[in-house]
Structure 1
Amino acid sequence: MDHDTLLGFLGLAEKLKCRTRHSWTSSGRHESVAEHVYRLMVFAWLVRDEFPDVDMNRVMELALFHDMGEAVTGDIPAFEKTGEDEKTEGEAQEEIAGLLPGPRGEKLREIFREVREKQTPEARLVNAMDKLEALIQHNEADLSTWLPLEYDLQLTYGEKETRDIPWMAALRERVNRDSVEKIKKED
């Protein structure tokens, strides 16, 4: 890869540090997309032994790039995202993959496609972990950062994505208990 291409792509990836998410950190500031991606990678590394039949290197590769389109579009909270937003993000992903020459660009297109289609065990696991990481982050943030709709959403978000992955479904239940306890403390 030539230096200009490398530096250009790294410059785009740097935007993930600048793009904030709806989530707040435990220190009281908005989380960046890059921080979310980093923790999703750590999450995948930590649970790799729980999924011996899943290619965890692929999971980590999918997790690494799953939100790359947000370098262009910014983050849109799941409860606000529309079909048009998903189309725009898909177009941004195509633009991003086009920055890389030949096989590398095609490899990135394949990653984006796999994440979007959620047909492989690896993509479904990344999707479940992505939802759970957001829930965990919400539980770590101060309750004052929650929107009123998040009190219910925190107890339902990610159910569908984790349902068919028993270990993740059990973790979802554990996170759910933490959410209930957090909400009770406010009362």
Structure 2
Amino acid sequence: MEKMSAGQFIAFLGKIEKLKSVPRHCVTADGIVENVAAHSWRTAVMAYLLKNELEDTDTDKVIRMCLLHDIGEALTGDIPAFEKTRENEAAEKLAVDRLLKSLPESLYQETSALFEEMEALETREARVYKALDKLEAVIQHNQSDIRTWLPLEYELQKTYAAEAVKGFSILERLQEECVRETEKKIEEYSRE
């Protein structure tokens, strides 16, 4: 098995370091524009915290998926889901492969297989990762100032993760709580 050189390791980290600067559509509770790295990190934390609730799930694999899922955005930038086109998705897929090719062959094969599994959404782990990815975005929007929301997000907040969480009772409960928080936030804002 080929080992990664120190230079190769540092160079790869330099490429994905951009994720700390790539803004996302959302704003934090403190009014700071969220970045892709923060989103990926919190999605991974969610997976870890739910490990005892997600029976028959390889949570370590889900955490790896959560940490890596948006690395292509280091090259493409982030495009909100409601604006993303097939062309954008294809460009991001190419960016992921370009980044992963700089890894040793065995690590390239391992991470490429992980991305294929995420894209196929056929395994329990891939479905959990995708649900957490969507839930994290909904939770973050609920934690942000509603004045930063676009009009379409008032409804999107209630539906964005709904399909993805089906079949996972803890994730379904989180989705229901998110909807309650969204509705409360909208109601409070409409009274201002």
Query: Would you say same fold, with TM above 0.5?
Result: yes
2 CA distance for matches of 1:160 and 1:49?
22
SS of alignment partner, residue 161 of structure 1: coil
2 CA distance for matches of 1:111 and 1:66?
9
Is residue 31 from structure 1 mapped to residue 34 from structure 2 by the alignment?
A: yes
Cα pair 2:54 2:168 within 8 Å, conserved: no
- The Cα of 1:111 is off from its aligned counterpart by 1.4
Is residue 180 from structure 1 mapped to residue 177 from structure 2 by the alignment?
A: no
1:21 aligned partner? 24
Cα pair 1:131 1:158 within 8 Å, conserved: yes
Unaligned runs of 5+ in 1: none
Is residue 139 from structure 1 mapped to residue 142 from structure 2 by the alignment?
A: yes
The one-letter code of the counterpart of 1:90 is: K
| Matched residue count | 187
Q: Deviations over 1:13-55 (max 9, x none)?
A: 2111010100110010110100001111110111000012101
Bigger fraction of residues in helix: 1
Is residue 81 from structure 1 mapped to residue 84 from structure 2 by the alignment?
A: yes
TM-score (norm 2): 0.95
Matched ranges for 1:151-162 at <5 A? 151-162=154-165
2:57 aligned partner? 54
CA RMSD of aligned residues (A): 0.8
2 CA distance for matches of 1:111 and 1:12?
19
Aligned sequence identity (%): 42
The one-letter code of the counterpart of 2:26 is: S
Farther off after superposition, 20-29 or 158-167: 158-167
2 CA distance for matches of 1:141 and 1:9?
32
SS of alignment partner, residue 50 of structure 1: coil
Unaligned runs of 5+ in 2: none
- The Cα of 1:136 is off from its aligned counterpart by 0.3
Q: Deviations over 1:138-176 (max 9, x none)?
A: 000001100011111111111111122222112101110
2 CA distance for matches of 1:90 and 1:52?
30
Farther off after superposition, 110-119 or 23-32: 110-119
- The Cα of 1:104 is off from its aligned counterpart by 0.8
TM-score (norm 1): 0.97
Cα pair 2:22 2:77 within 8 Å, conserved: yes
